[in-house]
């Protein structure tokens, strides 16, 4: 039987399949239910300073095999109320990761402090909120802000800090380096991809908020590319997210460089049983392929890593990696353009 | 994955309630619901009050702003529809007591109709504030059900709670199943009585809904997600839940007690919180 | 019968359904074939300074209903050779738009000059090439470079210039404003979304180049969101691209603000007949909905535009639009976060 | 949408050619091709030389570096496979002349087999440089075809061009169809002769392939995309194309003349350009 445990941010987790933030994340019973269904860890809904009802409906638009769009608007009961829900899960022994969001480094810091007192094992920073000081873009698309927020939070808590990065950027590696500089213990990627649906008959966006976030199968390639680029850019463990619903999806993320993954939208399609099913299928896959532990897979699709298979984490510089990848994968000199 | 359909027909059912019929071919079962988008306004969960054939129907009671706008729609106003979602009633019992309060009859009528057509004997305890608010009285009659009406003001049938009528019925005859939908306090009483007498009982419950896909957790009720595991849930399970009949999660996810308003007349008001 | 003509960049086109760059774009016969199949205009493969074989195979990975990934590596015969192919189409009366790519403003300018002598009706700038002076990101993700390239090209040709923007950015509106400042006559969006596929059995990326570009149904919401944001940001006509395969897809893009669209990946699924089929279906849709001309649809999902339906293009400021959108769509005060 | 499969079996067919069998269940027709990924190296279009049942086969001739590596694979080496793509042969004619040169027999054999099984009389003009390079000689025999071999060096059968054998056949008997695959100059001669005699003719052609999905234009040949409209195309249409037999688009899309090499012995070399 393959060993599914994984170490991320200094913590050992029973398996690498985590419940993504925003899914089954409002009630303590649900968090517990997801863990009982087989998740390796459960991440709370992103919690802010006060209660927020979120946007009016429609907040979700199913897009069939492509996935779905949502703009829930970060509904949450607020950091004062929510610890009651966490308590229900934590008291049952569930490893909970607390997700927080804010509009400034100060807000994140205060939230992290409060969250640290709830019994969670780690804190995930949801950096995908509009930048209060900027113009429409997300807090998390500005490397300076990312670094600042992570550094402040890092100083405010003794818990491991996971920075959750956005795919809506030209350079995921730069954001990851910012998080690493700020002192993050791990990064997770990706949050949803900016998207829109319009109802032609009604001549208006479907979601009440207009622009929303795309998740599900459509974004699996996007998440994989981000994880790949982040793995080439930093040395922290990576939690891969986006469009995961099967064991081979998980293996792809592991090979791209993830040490664990989060599953969100697949819960809509396959129910919470997806955790148990995928855990079993992953273990079977590993047995069938003679893989004893996850470390053999993590990052193994990177040419540098392929060359020294078995080592838990490469230490060579990014640049030497890049060179090596090109020559190993392509076997000829690299063309200059995409 | 969402259809925009014109309202084909509107039937005023009671002063506060109207049925809207529209073409929506996906197959559905009695007890399932759809998410109904009133463009430019909210999207609300609505049980299908007509489930058979391509023309479906919903029966809406004006509660807040959005449901009131919905009730006022007229052909050919348009609606967005997605679904059906959730699980409906087990239609196999042959002797059924249906207990409906307010707009609860909307989801019970098509289920009772299907059961009756399959040969079940159906008794219906139907409650409302006043005579003209009794929903689907004629429809239940037309399917051959025996009716036991109750009104808060005594303008028709028993004067008082429909749960009292239900208790009386359960004492007088032996039923294989009790189905109920209405204010949660009413449902709790009915389900308790049924369970006490070991009659299988099912309630159709409401919670705030956003995704209707079993992921966002808005509709969490104990270990259940009403949009996926419900809306029809076994009374036995519901009665185990401390929240049931007492509290719901509001739009921010905060557990919030139902407020029970008492009208000046002394009649029981409706729960604040998810509809009905 | 609805009028399908549309005016983009000062040119009137017979319909708004254009062949996207990189599809049926290497041979003059193919360009002509696409036009004969019903396209309103045809865009050439992106042409560079010299011949390029592109990356080795695999260059394409089909992803089923989600779409596909490609990393062809901009194969093209070079600007000296390629005019022969354009000539075959232009001499048959086909309205050709010449796509060019380069690594610097100088290279773009030289290419634009040469392209201007081939008989094309407009030039599309493919700004999605790695930034020679930067680190891994695209030329087109830097607003300053976009502005500089567009301005130089604008000065070098009398033809209309269309700047093709990338979705791999935190702020599509900022890129569009840069193109507008540079003097572009229109912008087109989007190019492919950064993506990756990994083969779990072989523990390596599928595409020889590793990272590729995602296209097809998966990116329709992404393209719509970009067009929406660009429409709110600038006053130039917009050519919408991404995941279009049906008439209602086209209507959604028009409503989001596009004056024309480009179709790429759908050609793989539906054949080149997709142009004729969609043109017919679009015309039928317009007839059925009492829409006489495209101007009635363009941007009509924007609340500001909805309020003054019928006017060809709004003139109010972006800020007033934003305010208006919020109040009209949501009917209440705007929550602060996604 | 891509399968990675182990090679189940390798059969050395000639000194330069081997058949690789692998499990790949999608149904295919004779004449269709798959894209074969040699991991870490190229992905090449390969006709299916065995199309029936779940176990498919390709028969590869070592031409350049990638095909040479492919020929050297042994079970359980793995391949990536996607497809099948393209259009194959019309199998309805009852009297067929098959003209194969070099690895061209790979695509002709399964088509001839299917036609013969359906009752067609099949004659096969099979050419190669030398006796031991004659591909699928025994396989054609086993399906009941009459064989008319030709070798450049005269080591077996007619000494000279297989196109000459085809001309002789077309003069001696009346065929309903001619199918050919091989070097394009050879095919051009065969198709011209067939058309001159008003025999329906079809050639399986090769061009550089990248997407195999009919979009990237790499395989453009006049108005056709070989990956989608072909690889089997009617001789009548092929002969109209100035490029056919003369030029192909290289990987950059540039129209490039085929080079015709002459070996010291004087025998016709193969086209440079897409395979065979
Ligand atoms: C499964 C299900 C089936 C239903 N079937 C019917 C039916 O057949 N007929 C019928 O008349 N009603 C039905 N309802 C109730 C209906 O969805 C609305 O709750 C009701 O119409 C009141 O909506 P409103 O916005 O007008 O009222 P408001 O007074 O504005 O809302 C009443 C309260 O309910 C909450 N609420 C209600 N709906 C939602 C929602 N979708 N999202 C967020 N919060 C909400 C609000 O938080 C508020 O506290 C059903 C509800 C559910 C969950
Ligand atoms: C539809 C089709 C079916 C085929 N079926 C068979 C078959 O059954 N058996 C067989 O042995 N061969 C077949 N081929 C030929 C095969 O795909 C290769 O062209 C051949 O094996 C030589 O490849 P190479 O890389 O080893 O040779 P090289 O000498 O490196 O290439 C020869 C030339 O062909 C070109 N070329 C060949 N293939 C490609 C490609 N995929 N992409 C880009 N350029 C290419 C190169 O530009 C080069 O000029 C088929 C080709 C096509 C198009
Ligand atoms: C309905 C929904 C709600 C979400 N809410 C949050 C959230 O509160 N905080 C957060 O960081 N991410 C949130 N996300 C993003 C997910 O955690 C995840 O990053 C994304 O959906 C991609 O994963 P998937 O394709 O498996 O769904 C939400 C996603 C969905 C679909
Ligand atoms: C095979 C392929 C090749 C492409 N080549 C180019 C190119 O040369 N230049 C360019 O600007 N865009 C190129 N693109 C991007 C398309 O023009 C288009 O922007 C993108 O595919 C999204 O549209 P779609 O979803 O309709 O395919 C290419 C896309 C594909 C799939
Ligand atoms: S409404 Fe989202 S989980 Fe039920
Ligand atoms: S190989 Fe791409 S069009 Fe044929």
**Active-site residue C129, yes or no?**
yes
Tell me, in angstroms, the distance from the centre of ligand 1 to residue B44's CA. 6
pLDDT score of C136: 58
CATH level 3 topology of D3-85? Elongation Factor Tu (Ef-tu); domain 3 (2.40.30)
Distances (CA, A) of A7 to A40, A185, A227, A238, D204: 11, 11, 17, 11, 56
| Tens of pLDDT, residues C245-257 | 999 999 999 999 9
Q: What token pair was written down for C87?
A: 């000539």
Spatial separation of the C-alpha atoms in residues A20 and A241, rounded to whole Å: 8
Q: What token pair was written down for C244?
A: 């279009």
Query: Quick check: D275 pLDDT over 50?
Result: no
With cut-offs at 50, 70 and 90, classify the pLDDT of residue C1: confident
Q: Which residues in chain C have Cβ-Cβ distances shorter than 8 Å to D227?
A: none
Q: Are A191 and A213 in contact (CB under 8 A)?
A: yes
Q: Are D40 and A331 in contact (CB under 8 A)?
A: yes
| Backbone torsions φ then ψ of B157, nearest 5 degrees | 65, -155
Q: Are C46 and C16 in contact (CB under 8 A)?
A: no
Query: Quick check: A316 pLDDT over 90?
Result: no
When comparing pLDDT for A131 and B263, which is higher?
Answer: A131
Which DSSP string do the residues of D166-212 spell out, in sequence order?
A: HHHHHHHS--SEEEEES-HHHHHHHHHHHHHTT-EEEEE-----SSS
Neighbours of A115 (CB within 10 A): 28
Percent of chain B with pLDDT over 90: 91
With cut-offs at 50, 70 and 90, classify the pLDDT of residue C132: low
Q: What is the dihedral of CA D84, D88, D94, D97, to 10 degrees?
A: -110
Min mean pLDDT across A176-180, A216-220, C14-18, D253-257 is at D253-257
Spatial separation of the C-alpha atoms in residues B259 and B248, rounded to whole Å: 11
> Within a domain: residue A287?
yes
Spatial separation of the C-alpha atoms in residues B244 and B248, rounded to whole Å: 8
With cut-offs at 50, 70 and 90, classify the pLDDT of residue A264: very high
Spatial separation of the C-alpha atoms in residues D115 and D93, rounded to whole Å: 8
Average pLDDT over residues B225-234: 97
Q: Relative to the CA of D204, which ligand 2 atom is closest?
A: 1
Neighbours of A172 (CB within 10 A): 28
Q: D121-128 and D146-151 as β-strands: parallel, antiparallel, unpaired?
A: parallel
Q: Are D195 and D201 in contact (CB under 8 A)?
A: yes
pLDDT score of B275: 43
pLDDT score of C311: 39
Average pLDDT over residues C317-327: 35
Segment (H or E) for B55: strand B55-61
Q: B220-221 and B224-225 as β-strands: parallel, antiparallel, unpaired?
A: antiparallel
The CATH code of domain D95-257 reads 3.40.50.80
Q: Are A157 and A116 in contact (CB under 8 A)?
A: yes
Chain D touched by C80 (CB under 8 Å)? no
Domain of C106 in residue numbering reads as 6-330
> Within a domain: residue C184?
yes
Q: Closest ligand to C222 CA?
A: 4
Min mean pLDDT across A173-177, C154-158, C328-332, D255-259 is at C328-332
Q: Which residues in chain C have Cβ-Cβ distances shorter than 8 Å to B40?
A: 328-329, 331
Decide whether any atom of ligand 4 lies within 6 Å of the D213 Cβ. Answer: no
Spatial separation of the C-alpha atoms in residues D137 and D145, rounded to whole Å: 10
Distances (CA, A) of C120 to A76, C34, C155, D160: 55, 16, 17, 50
Spatial separation of the C-alpha atoms in residues B186 and A223, rounded to whole Å: 49
pLDDT score of B108: 98
Q: Which residue of C has its CA nearest to A101?
A: C337
Query: Quick check: A307 pLDDT over 80?
Result: no
Alpha-carbon distance D8 to nearest alpha carbon in chain C (angstroms) = 16
Decide whether any atom of ligand 5 lies within 6 Å of the B166 Cβ. Answer: no
Q: What token pair was written down for A289?
A: 């392929």
| Backbone torsions φ then ψ of D129, nearest 5 degrees | -70, -40
| Tens of pLDDT, residues A8-52 | 999 999 999 999 999 999 999 999 999 999 999 999 999 999 999
Q: Closest ligand to B57 CA?
A: 1
Spatial separation of the C-alpha atoms in residues C301 and C227, rounded to whole Å: 12
Query: Quick check: C310 pLDDT over 50?
Result: no
> Within a domain: residue A336?
no
Chain D touched by C27 (CB under 8 Å)? yes
Decide whether any atom of ligand 6 lies within 6 Å of the D253 Cβ. Answer: no
Which residues have a Cβ under 8 Å from the Cβ of B196 and sit 6 or more positions away? none
Average pLDDT over residues B40-65: 95
For ligand 3, atom 6, which residue shows the shortest CA distance? A22
Spatial separation of the C-alpha atoms in residues A215 and A223, rounded to whole Å: 10
Min mean pLDDT across A162-171, A256-265, B221-230, C328-337 is at C328-337
Cross-strand partners of D87: D231
Q: Which residue of D has its CA nearest to A325?
A: D40
> Within a domain: residue A1?
no
Average pLDDT over residues A45-64: 96
Closest CA to A235 of A301, A187, A285, A300: A187
With cut-offs at 50, 70 and 90, classify the pLDDT of residue D261: very low
Tell me, in angstroms, the distance from the centre of ligand 4 to residue C240's CA. 12
Average pLDDT over residues D265-273: 36
Q: Are D178 and D96 in contact (CB under 8 A)?
A: yes
Chain A touched by D40 (CB under 8 Å)? yes
Spatial separation of the C-alpha atoms in residues D257 and C332, rounded to whole Å: 68
> For the domain that residue A169 is a member of, what is the CATH number?
3.20.20.70
Q: What token pair was written down for C271?
A: 């054949």
Q: Is the pTM of this model over 0.90?
A: yes
pLDDT score of C324: 33
Q: What token pair was written down for A206?
A: 């479907």
Helix (H, G, I), strand (E, B) or coil at A198: strand
Spatial separation of the C-alpha atoms in residues A3 and D263, rounded to whole Å: 61
Angle at which helix A220-233 crosses helix A172-182, to 10 degrees, equals 50
Is the CA virtual torsion B93, B97, B100, B106 positive or negative?
A: positive
Alpha-carbon distance C8 to nearest alpha carbon in chain D (angstroms) = 25
Min mean pLDDT across B133-137, B198-202, C127-131, D3-7 is at C127-131
> What is chain C's mean pLDDT, rounded?
90
Helix (H, G, I), strand (E, B) or coil at A34: helix
Spatial separation of the C-alpha atoms in residues A166 and C2, rounded to whole Å: 42
Neighbours of B138 (CB within 10 A): 10
Domains of chain C: total: 1
Neighbours of C159 (CB within 10 A): 21
Percent of chain A with pLDDT over 70: 88
| Backbone torsions φ then ψ of D126, nearest 5 degrees | -120, 120
Q: Is A10 exposed, middle or buried (0-12, 13-18, 19+ CB in 10 A)?
A: exposed
Q: Are B99 and B166 in contact (CB under 8 A)?
A: yes
pLDDT score of A314: 40
Mark yes or no for CB contact A170/C56 under 8 Å.
no
Q: What token pair was written down for B186?
A: 């009413």
By Cβ distance, the residue of C138, C297, C301 closest to A170 is C138
pLDDT score of B39: 84
Alpha-carbon distance C78 to nearest alpha carbon in chain A (angstroms) = 14
Q: Which residues in chain B have Cβ-Cβ distances shorter than 8 Å to A199?
A: 2, 4, 39, 80
Helix (H, G, I), strand (E, B) or coil at C43: strand
Distances (CA, A) of B20 to A84, B7, B13, B74, B132: 42, 6, 10, 8, 19
Query: Quick check: C9 pLDDT over 80?
Result: yes
| Tens of pLDDT, residues C135-169 | 556 888 999 999 999 999 999 999 999 999 999 99
pLDDT score of B276: 46
- Domain segments of chain D: what residues? 3-85, 95-257
| Tens of pLDDT, residues C43-89 | 999 999 999 999 999 999 999 999 999 999 999 999 999 999 999 99
pLDDT score of C108: 96
Average pLDDT over residues A183-189: 98
Helix (H, G, I), strand (E, B) or coil at B22: strand
Please write down the HEC assignment for all residues of A75-120: CECCCCCCHHHHHHHHCCCCCEEEEECCCCHHHHHHHHHHHHCCCC
> Within a domain: residue A337?
no
């Amino acid at each position: 039987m393959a060993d599914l445990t994984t170490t991320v941010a200094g913590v050992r987790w029973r398996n690498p399949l985590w419940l993504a933030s925003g899914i089954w994340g409002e009630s303590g019973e649900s968090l517990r239910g997801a863990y009982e269904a087989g998740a390796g860890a459960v991440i709370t809904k992103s919690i802010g300073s006060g209660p927020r009802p979120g946007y009016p409906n429609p907040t979700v638009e199913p897009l069939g095999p492509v996935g779905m769009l949502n703009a829930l608007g970060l509904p949450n009961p607020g950091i004062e109320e929510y610890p009651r829900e966490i308590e229900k899960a934590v008291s049952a022994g569930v490893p909970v990761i607390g997700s927080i969001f804010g509009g400034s480094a100060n807000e994140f810091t205060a939230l992290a402090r409060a969250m640290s007192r709830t019994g969670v094992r780690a804190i995930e920073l949801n950096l995908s909120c509009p930048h209060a000081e900027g113009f429409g873009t997300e807090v998390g698309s500005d490397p300076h802000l990312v670094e600042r927020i992570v550094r402040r939070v890092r100083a405010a808590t003794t818990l491991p800090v996971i920075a959750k990065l956005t795919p809506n950027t030209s350079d995921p590696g730069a954001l990851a380096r910012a998080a690493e500089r700020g002192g993050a213990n791990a990064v997770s990627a990706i949050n949803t991809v900016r998207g829109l649906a319009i109802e032609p008959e009604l001549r208006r966006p479907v979601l009440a908020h207009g622009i929303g976030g795309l998740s599900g199968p459509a974004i699996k390639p996007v998440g994989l590319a981000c994880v790949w680029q982040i793995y080439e850019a930093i040395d922290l463990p990576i939690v891969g997210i986006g469009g995961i619903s099967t064991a081979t999806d998980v293996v792809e993320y592991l090979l791209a460089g993830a040490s664990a993954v989060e599953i969100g939208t697949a819960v809509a399609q396959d129910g919470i049983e997806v955790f148990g099913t995928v855990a079993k299928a992953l273990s079977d896959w590993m047995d069938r392929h003679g893989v004893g532990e996850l470390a053999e897979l993590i990052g193994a699709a990177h040419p540098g890593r392929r060359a020294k298979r078995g080592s838990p984490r490469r230490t060579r510089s990014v640049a030497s990696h890049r060179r090596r990848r090109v020559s190993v994968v392509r076997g000829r000199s690299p063309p200059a353009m995409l | 994955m969402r259809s925009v359909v014109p309202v084909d027909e509107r039937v005023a059912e009671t002063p506060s309630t109207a049925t809207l019929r529209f073409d929506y071919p996906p197959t559905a079962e009695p007890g399932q619901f759809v998410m109904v988008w009133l463009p430019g306004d909210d999207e609300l969960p609505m049980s299908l009050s007509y489930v058979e054939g391509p023309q479906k129907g919903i029966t809406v009671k004006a509660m807040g702003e959005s449901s009131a706008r919905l009730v006022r729609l007229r052909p050919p106003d348009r609606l967005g529809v997605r679904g059906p979602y959730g699980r409906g009633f087990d239609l196999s019992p042959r002797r059924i007591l249906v207990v409906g309060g307010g707009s609860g009859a909307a989801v019970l009528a098509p289920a009772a109709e299907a059961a009756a057509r399959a040969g079940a004997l159906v008794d219906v305890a139907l409650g409302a504030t006043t005579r003209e608010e009794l929903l689907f009285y004629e429809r239940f009659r037309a399917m051959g059900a025996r009716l036991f009406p109750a009104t808060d003001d005594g303008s028709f049938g028993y004067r008082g709670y429909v749960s009292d009528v239900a208790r009386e019925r359960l004492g007088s005859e032996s039923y294989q199943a009790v189905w109920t939908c209405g204010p949660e306090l009413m449902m709790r009483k009915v389900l308790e009585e049924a369970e006490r007498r070991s009659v299988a009982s099912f309630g159709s419950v409401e919670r705030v809904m956003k995704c209707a896909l079993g992921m966002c957790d808005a509709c969490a009720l104990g270990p259940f997600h009403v949009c996926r595991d419900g809306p029809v849930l076994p009374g036995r399970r519901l009665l185990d839940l401390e929240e049931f009949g007492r509290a719901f999660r509001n739009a921010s996810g905060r557990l919030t007690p139902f407020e029970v308003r008492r009208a000046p007349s002394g009649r029981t008001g409706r729960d604040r919180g998810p509809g009905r």
